[in-house]
Amino acid sequence: MIQIAIMGHGVVGSGVAEVLLKNAKSIARKAGEGIEVKRILDLREFPDSPLADRFTKDFGDIVDDPDIRIVVETMGGLTPAYDYVKRCLEAGKNVVTSNKELVAAKGDELLAIAKEKNLNFLFEASVGGGIPILRPLDQCLAANEVYEIAGILNGTTNFVLTKMIHEGMAFEDALALAQRLGYAERDPSADVDGHDACRKICILASLAFGRHVHPEQVHTVGISAITLADVKYAEAWGGVIKLIGRAHKREDGRLDCFVEPMLLSHASQLAEVNDVFNGILVRGDAIGDVVFYGRGAGKLPTASAVVADVIDEVKHLKARKYLFWEKGQEGYVADYREAVSPMFLRLRCGDPGACLERLESALGPCARIAVEGAPAGELGLVTPPVSEADLEALLAAQPDVAAESRLRVADF
For residue 42, the surrounding DSSP H or E stretch is none
Closest CA to 369 of 382, 385, 356, 357: 382
Calculate the alpha carbon distances from 285 to 46, 146, 249, 265 in Å.
Answer: 51, 6, 12, 23
Q: Say what the alpha-carbon torsion angle 381, 383, 389, 395 is, to the nearest 10 degrees.
A: -50
Q: Nearest distance from residue 41's CB to ligand HSE, in Å? A: 21
Check if 57 is active-site.
no
Q: Nearest distance from residue 34's CB to ligand HSE, in Å? A: 29
DSSP-derived 3-state class of residue 142: coil
Binding site for ligand HSE (CB under 6 A): 129, 154-156, 183-185, 191, 196, 296-297
DSSP-derived 3-state class of residue 374: coil
Alpha helix ranges (H) inside 9-80: 11-22, 24-31, 60-63
Q: Which is nearer to ligand HSE, 154 or 268 (CB)?
A: 154
d(CA 56, CA 38): 10
Calculate the alpha carbon distances from 142 to 111, 138, 139, 211, 304 in Å.
Answer: 19, 6, 5, 16, 24
Q: Nearest distance from residue 192's CB to ligand HSE, in Å? A: 10
Q: Nearest distance from residue 406's CB to ligand HSE, in Å? A: 25
Q: Which of 200, 232, 242, 249 is catalytic?
A: 200
Q: What is the set of active-site residues?
A: 200
